[in-house]
Structure 1
Amino acid sequence: MAQQFKLKDIASLSDLKPGDKIESEVEGVSDGKVLLLNHDKKIHALSPRCTHYGGPLKGGVVSPDGRIMCPWHGACFNVATGDIENAPALNALKTFDVLEKDGAVYISGTEADIKAGQRSPGIKCSASKSDEKLVVVGGGSGTIGVVQGLREQKYTGQITIVTQEPDMIDRPKLSKALITDPSKIRLRSPDWFKEAGIESVFDKVTAVDFDSQSLTTASGKTLPYTKLVLAPGGIPRSLPLPGFKDLSNIFTLRSIANAQSIVSAVGEEKGKNIVVIGSSFIGMEIANSLADGNNVTVVGMEAAPLERVMGAQVGRIFQRNLESNGVKFKLEAGVSKATPSASNASAVGAVHLEDGTVLPADVVVVGVGVRPATDFLQGNAAIKLEKDGSVATDAHFAVPGLKGVFAVGDIATYPYHGPGGNGAPVRIEHWNVAQNAGRSVARAIGHLQHAGLESLKVRSFIPVFWSALGAQLRYCGNTVNGFDDVVLRGEPDNGKFVAYYAKGDVILAVATMGMDPYMVKSAELMRRGKMPSKKEIVDGVDVLGLDL
């Protein structure tokens, strides 16, 4: 039963000016806190921590349309209802009524709600008699965005997920921490899917018949659909070089099973020689996570890690961070082959570079990117794949020309309307993009029950990603189609910076380390079409001081 709790850090609601945020302790509740904020002439009280990884919402940005964005990873919530507005949060915030009496401020609620700080969205659904049959291919971020988004909207159709992965996991944690216990990184429990009336088929899709609206699996099942969402993700690229297909202890990383194999091969004994091929985000994160007590070398083709994506100057900051943790680098280097160990002819013993360098290797991890997992669509006359194997979609992630078919995540090429995008097609391999695209598809499918997609307004989102590269990197925007300048601010020599990525006078993306508020404020400015120009940044404009 709800009761009234006094707040310790505020005596009067008039102390909160428009736009102010205060995190206050709740008397009588151990470790209980709430966030008070003044928005649109009303005081709101809600849980103070993001439900994703616990980011402090006091440091977040509140937009004029009533969203609060977490400063860590870009999750957004409605300040009035606590509902999810943007990924990667899966649970909503708790909200509380606020009142002032007897010279003090109180909230109304229960102790359990204050301590919980979050709530699972209403997704309960009993067995459906609807003719709607939604099938989702894949078990990643895009899939959870679709199925949760639909159940939040009270969609009553049947939902079936077809995936080869036994657990739907928080995949970004694999490379950052090499977690091997799926229970620690499950997005949702089996009971959650059961309560939501969502069936999982653990199988491989081998073909889709778009005319009959059905798909076939490797075990021989035929699954009919009225709506189909293609979200199979990506397949790690391998190296077509001598030794890499034949020798053991050479790995890629995409699944829990991959992480378990890597950790098992490395073992508990320190001092292993580990070669990571690829100075990508995945490769750099894996190298950083394995560096403690081992001899880790990253082999990259660029002059600086992530040079193409982040620029040489920023890439060298990442390199220094990892070098301080003991990681070594061989850059502007090509790999020629892998050879076996002297003691075990079937296991890797060394990686050979094109310049003649031989790197001893007990374990090799290949992190050279992924390709769209669309092999099951190759040769299908009903769908034309892009040159990179992806599926082109419209702004709602619907596949043109195919009734009730959508594509999200690593396989989707969609029109980008963020800064500099102008609707040009892009394919972005970010966790947030996949999940937000999934939520967009959920809105589209819900809308299709009443009208056509042409009457549905596109809710654009700005891509956000994060990485652990000796320090926490935050990034918003998109430079897939290139940038021509980077404006650095802060203390880059100390690894603390804001990097503004420009093409001409347009700021396309912003990356930060140790200066999180700049990323989240920039993301909101981008979404609202108010991001300052490169000239304004060079002339000294501070985005934190700009109005939304």
Structure 2
Amino acid sequence: MAQEYKLKGLSSFGDLANTDKIEAEVEGVSDGKVLLVNLDGKVHAMSPHCTHYGAPLKNGVVSPDGRLTCPWHGACYNVGTGDVEDAPALNALHKFDAFEKDGAVYIRATEADIKSGQRNPVGQCSVSESDEKVVIIGGGSGTIGLVQALRELKYPGHITIISREPEYVIDRTKLSKALIPDASQILWRPDEWYAEAGIEKLVDEVKAVDFSARLLSTASGKSINYTKLVLATGGTPRSLPLPGFKDNELKNIFQLRTVADVQSILDAAGDQKKQIVVIGSSFIGMEVGNALAGKEHSVTIVGMESAPMERVMGAKVGQIFQNNLEKNGVSFKLSAGVEKATPSESKSNTVGAVHLKDGTVLPADLVILGVGVRPATDFLQNSVSLSLQEDGSLATDANFVVEGHNSVFAIGDIATFPYHGPGGNGTPVRIEHWNVAQNAGRAVARAIVHARHSPLSSLPPKPFIPIFWSALGAQLRYCGNTVNGYDDVVLKGEPENGKFAAYYTSGDVVVAVATMGIDPVMSKSADLMRRGKMPGKKEIVDGLDVLQVK
């Protein structure tokens, strides 16, 4: 039962200005804390840590429209309710009544709620006798965002997920960053959660879709009907069409997409020091290389650009990534092209070296490919009524409805959708970010529920700004998108010490922001972009602090 708890050190709400926040200790509760937020004269009390990775929300961003954004990864909560507004958080915050009494500040709460710090927004669900049935193909980030939001919004119909991965949905971001081989450690939700929410999970592979009959065919021989279909199959890692890399010609050459891939990489690496070559100075390549170097292996990353991620991030920022990883023992071979892989002298069917086009030979006990992904849409290649884009993706509208199919949606790595963030101007873009997929899933849930009662055309798209993060010797945070390019990078902070904010600009428009070591500049920038309040290049150059912008 809820009771009154006094907050230490507070006598009134008087010192809390509009959109200000403060973390306070709760008397009588060991390690108990709450966050107080003043929004338009009303003080709200809530759990103090982000439910995603536990970031302190006292360092977050409060916007005038009542959103509280995590300083680390952009998870967003409604100040009034504690509910999740944007990914990557799944659980909501507890909300508590806050009031002044006898010269002190109190909250009304249960000790259990104060200590737990989060709540599951989806309770036990009894599926109605409705004929409505949402089927999702794929078990990734977009899927968990979709199914949770459907139940949050009280969708009464059946929900079925079909994925060929045996464990889902996992926090796939941790595969490359931490090389975790145990799926149980990175599951977003246990099986019990899906059962209580009335969500059916199938481990199977969809082989074909009959869009006119609204019927799926699976590898196990099942035929599954749907009223709404969501395609969320993600990406397939690219290989290299070069000697030694083709058709599993040599062992110990790995791609990274699943828990099984991590297990195979760690088994091959073993406990003794190995010579490891990572091909691709992508974020995935650098994260894997950094994680393996931390396990005392000798790691060389091969990249085609003069600095890691030069095309996307610029040479100066890419050099910061390189410096960080070199401090951890990673070596780089840049401006380099791969020619072939050759076998070990002792094991003719196992890789022994990677040969570069300049004649360099890199000894290799194992090789990891980080050369990007392509949309996993092979099963749709023969669909008569569905047209794939040149890259294999599906074109959608801003609500992620597939062109020409009002009952079909696409999200995540396979979706090309109009981007309306700064500098986007509606340009079609495909964004391979964990956060984008999950927010797209939440948007599709909103569209499906809306369409039960009103034309989908009457639903304005919910704006969100793309966000990603990466572990590159320090935590990189990034928001925005450079779909139409950028012509300058304004660097602030101490880039020589790896502590910076990089503002990517097109003319005077800031189209993207990357930061290291100066939270919550990225989260604040994402919020300003969403509200159309992001300062221009000239203001940034002149020294404006975005954290001071309302």
TM more than 0.5 = yes
Q: Structure 2 matches for 1:237-248, cutoff 5 A?
A: 237-244=238-245, 245-248=248-251
The CA distance in 1 between the partners of 2:384 and 2:260, in whole Å, is 34
Residue 421 of structure 1 deviates from its aligned partner by 0.8
RMSD: 0.9
Deviates more, 1:9-18 or 1:38-47: 9-18
Give 1:9 shift: 3.0
> 2:14 is paired with a residue of what secondary structure?
helix
- Give distance in 2, aligned partners of 1:122 and 1:199: 15
Match of 2:489 in 1: 486
Are residues 1:81 and 2:110 paired?
Answer: no
Residue pair 1:123, 1:154 contacting (<8 A) in 2 also = no
- Measure how far apart 1:430 and its partner are: 0.4
* Conserved 8 A contact 1:124-1:151: no
1:525 deviation in Å? 0.6
Q: In the alignment, residue 51 of structure 1 is paired with which amino acid?
A: T
Question: Are 1:139 and 2:139 an aligned pair?
Answer: yes
Does residue 313 of structure 1 match 2:319? no
The equivalent residue for 1:117 is 117
Structure 1 position 65, deviation (Å): 1.1
Rounded to whole Å, the distance in 2 between the matches of 1:481 and 1:251 is 33
Q: CA deviation at 1:197?
A: 0.8
Tell me the residue number matched to 1:228: 229
Quote the offset at 1:219 in angstroms: 1.5
- Which residue is equivalent to 2:281? 279
CA deviation vs aligned residue, 1:431-475 (integer Å, no higher than 9, x gap): 000000000000000001001111112111000100000000000
Structure 2 SS opposite 1:15: coil
Distance, in Å, in 1 between the alignment partners of 2:10 and 2:345 is: 70
Q: Can you list the C-alpha shifts for 1:331-378, whole angstroms capped at 9, x where unaligned?
A: 010111111111211111111111111111111100000000000111
**CA offsets 1:162-219 (integer angstroms, 9 cap, x no match):** 1011221000010000001111100100000000111111111111111001111112
Q: CA 1:67 to 1:173, structure 2 compared with 1: closer, same or farther past 3 Å?
A: same
Shift of 1:544: 1.3
SS of residue matched to 2:409: strand
CA contact (8 A) 1:160 1:201 kept: yes
The separation in 2 between residues aligned to 1:356 and 1:173, in whole angstroms, is 35
Asked whether 1:303 is paired with 2:306, we answer yes
For the pair 1:323 / 2:329, whether they are aligned, the reply is no
User: 8 Å contact 1:333–1:354 — kept in the other structure?
Assistant: yes
Partner of 1:37: 37
Instruction: Give the aligned residue type for 1:337.
Output: K
Please state whether the residue corresponding to 2:176 is helix, strand or coil: helix
Q: Which residue of 2 aligns with 1:183?
A: 184
- How far does the alpha carbon of each residue in 1:405-443 deviate from its partner, in whole angstroms, 9 at most, with x for none? 000000000011100111111000000000000000000
Counterpart CA distance in 2 for 1:438 and 1:135 is 13
Larger mean CA deviation between 309-318 and 215-224 belongs to 215-224
Cα distance between partner residues in 2 of 1:102 and 1:545? 35
Query: Aligned ranges for residues 501-540 of structure 1 at < 5 Å?
Result: 501-540=504-543
What amino acid maps onto 1:23 in structure 2?
Answer: E
In the aligned structure 1, how far is the partner of 2:464 from the partner of 2:443?
Answer: 10
- SS of the residue corresponding to residue 422 of structure 1 reads coil
Alignment partner, residue 212 of structure 2: 211
- 2:436 pairs with 1:421: no
Name the counterpart of 1:200. 201
Deviation at 1:259, TM superposition (A): 0.6
1:7 corresponding residue in structure 2:
7
SS in 2 for 1:383: coil
User: In the alignment, what sits opposite 2:269?
Assistant: 266
Unaligned runs of 5+ in 2: none
2:137·2:230 contact (CA, 8 Å) conserved in 1?
yes
SS, match of residue 44 in structure 1: strand
Query: Are the counterparts in 1 of residues 477 and 514 from structure 2 also a CA contact under 8 Å?
Result: yes
Distance 1:261 1:199 in 2: 30
Of 341, 352, 366, which aligns to 1:349?
352
SS of the residue 1:298 aligns to? strand
Deviates more, 1:410-419 or 1:211-220: 211-220
Residues 50 and 75 of structure 2 are in contact (CA less than 8 Å); yes or no, is this contact kept in structure 1?
A: yes
Structure 1 outlier segments of 4+, above 6 Å: none
Q: Is the 8 A contact 1:275 1:298 kept in 2?
A: yes
The letter for the 1-side match of 2:58 is K
Paired with 1:49 and 1:41, the residues of 2 have a C-alpha distance of 23
Q: Secondary structure at the match of 1:445?
A: helix
Task: Tell me, in whole angstroms, the C-alpha distance in 2 between the residues paired with 1:237 and 1:338.
Answer: 16
| Count of residue pairs the alignment pairs up | 546
1:288 to 275, 287, 290: 290
1:334 aligns with 2:337: yes
* CA distance in 2: counterparts of 1:379 and 1:508, whole angstroms: 38
What corresponds to 1:371 in structure 2? 374
* Amino acid of the structure 2 residue aligned with 1:154: K
Aligned match of 2:458: 455
- In structure 2, what is the Cα distance between the partners aligned to 1:71 and 1:407? 29
Q: Deviation digits for residues 135-167 of structure 1, max 9, x if unmatched?
A: 000000000111110000111111110101122
TM-score by length of 1: 0.99
**CA distance in structure 2 between the aligned counterparts of 1:18 and 1:503, rounded to whole angstroms:** 33
Check if 1:251 corresponds to 2:254: yes
TM-score of the aligned structures, taking structure 2 as reference length: 0.98
Structure 1 unaligned runs (5+)?
A: none
- Distance in 2, matches of 1:123 and 1:214, equals 30
Q: Decide whether the 8 Å contact of 1:123 with 1:148 is kept in 2.
A: no
Corresponding position of 2:384: 381
Give SS of 1:106's match: strand
User: What SS class does the counterpart of residue 362 from structure 2 fall into?
Assistant: strand
Distance in 1 (CA, whole Å) between partners of 2:144 and 2:297 is 36
